[in-house]
Amino acid sequence: MADTMQFDLVSPERRLSSVQATEVRIPGADGDLTAMPNHAPVITTLRPGVLEVITAEGSTTYVVTGGFAEVSSTGTTVLAEQAHAVSDVTQEMIDAMVAEAHEAHKAAHPDVVDAAAKLLSDLVAMGGHIGLEPTLPTS
């Protein structure tokens, strides 16, 4: 079918999705992008955020914490560091992700402290986007 493309979402633990999609909204590190059938080829890194897959049956959303997306004219593949269906994400999961990013920020070398701060900020924003308010560590 010319108005759909193959979409695959894979994390180290499992394949989360393999469907025919009409569009995929991707939280790219350099900005959000929407992949559609016949899209020009592009590879991008992911930032923590919400990935949305639109199919003929509706929309499904996932949180991703990083990884890569490869978009081509025939499909899109996302290889995520961590990925979970938004419906499966709990407050405890978001708090654990934020705590891990907070520790990485505290331990970051001065050359990468800005990147670590952005990661932490993106994770907090992602939690808020899905209706959860992450608890920020105090130390």
Last residue of a domain, one of 86, 102, 121: 86
Q: What is the pLDDT of residues 42-59, one digit of tens each?
A: 999 999 999 999 999 999
C-alpha distances (whole Å) from 136 to each of 36, 37, 48, 82, 99 are 36, 40, 16, 20, 7
User: Do 63 and 89 meet the contact criterion of CB atoms below 8 Å apart?
Assistant: yes
Tell me, yes or no, whether 16 and 45 share the same domain: yes
Tell me, yes or no, whether 32 and 94 share the same domain: no
Identify the residue with better confidence: 33 or 111: 33
pTM of the model: 0.80
Neighbours of 66 (CB within 10 A): 19
Q: What is the pLDDT of residues 13-30, one digit of tens each?
A: 899 999 999 999 999 999
Domain of residue 125: give its range: 89-129
Residue 26 lies in a domain: yes
Tell me, yes or no, whether 29 and 44 share the same domain: yes
Tell me, yes or no, whether 18 and 71 share the same domain: yes
- Domain count of the chain? 2
Give the residue from 112, 128, 131, 126 showing the smallest Cα distance to 51. Answer: 126
